[in-house]
Amino acid sequence: MIRHTLVLAGLLWAGTFALGLPYAVAAPAGEQTANDPLNSPRWGDMAKAFFDGQEVVFDPRISVSGPLVAEDSLNVPITVDASALPGVEEMIVFADFNPILKALRFEPGAAQARLGFRLKLQQSSPVRVAARTVDGVWRVGGAWVTATGGGCTLPSVGSGSPEWQERLNEVSGRLWARIDGGERLRMRVIHPMDTGLAAGIPAFHIEDIVISDENGRILSRIQPLEPVSENPSFTIDLAEAASGGRLHVSGRDNNGNRIDAWVTR
């Protein structure tokens, strides 16, 4: 698959944004399509749903990378990057035209404000990331991804196999040293991540993943929701190398099943 970095700049962004300058819109939005660089008719609804009464800024320093055309709507590789912004406290990812809008919440903490993962898409949609900085402002970036559809309403592969029950919440992963002195964590968790939109299959998904060092200090947190792909994988860049060469991954799903594993170099 050819991956294209779709940065919110250039031809899709008009007016002041074409000069690389962030610009603000008020929320709630009402009629905000004209202010949306992606020209989505759903932007007004997104602004009201996620940022009602808060300041929102479209910012070219935030990017969403992914395929221009998704070959598999159940597994759309996405990287969201707000690392050019100082003081990012949390990030949320959402897709305008998904039946379940919000995909995940990410607290970078000791990690860079950048996250790679895979997403389900029900149809072609803007995929957006919003980063809240220490000043309380939400800064938004995004990109259109063309998809054939059906990603959110199809049953997971695991829901038809007894194997996932034996391996549920099993973690595999590894740490790599980065040339900047930090460390990259890549991990996968075995879980069906059912959306609840397939007939007869209730919602069943991971809802919290906490990454800690060997002393128990929380470094970062991911809170996935139903639109994250089955057997979710995540890539995180930590600002510093892991003490002792290992990290603890803990968490739970919405049925209370626990995640508990160590990831090493």
* Domains of the chain listed by start with CATH number: 3-147 (2.60.40.2470), 158-264 (2.60.40.10)
Q: What is the pLDDT of residue 243?
A: 83
Give the contacts of 197 (CB within 8 A, at least 6 positions apart). Answer: 99, 100, 152, 153, 226
- Grouping H, G, I as helix, E, B as strand and the rest as coil, residue 57 is strand
Q: What is the pLDDT of residue 154?
A: 86
Q: Before 108, cis peptide (omega within 30)?
A: no
Query: Cα–Cα distances in Å, from 30 out to 15, 26, 56, 176?
Result: 21, 10, 14, 46
Per-residue pLDDT of the chain (265 residues; tens, 9 = 90+): 444 444 333 333 334 444 454 544 444 433 344 489 999 999 999 999 999 989 999 999 999 999 999 999 999 999 999 999 999 999 999 999 999 999 999 999 999 999 999 999 999 999 999 999 999 999 999 999 999 878 998 888 876 677 778 899 999 999 999 999 999 999 999 999 999 999 889 999 999 999 999 999 999 999 999 999 999 999 999 999 988 899 999 999 999 999 999 999 8
- Are the CB atoms for 236 and 259 separated by under 8 Å? no
d(CA 253, CA 259): 8
Q: What is the pLDDT of residue 157?
A: 80
Q: What is the pLDDT of residue 22?
A: 59
Give the contacts of 195 (CB within 8 A, at least 6 positions apart). Answer: 99, 100, 120, 152, 153, 203, 205, 226, 227
Q: What is the pLDDT of residue 117?
A: 99
Q: What is the pLDDT of residue 11?
A: 35
d(CA 89, CA 231): 26
Q: What is the pLDDT of residue 16?
A: 41
Q: What is the pLDDT of residue 155?
A: 85
The DSSP call for residue 51 is H
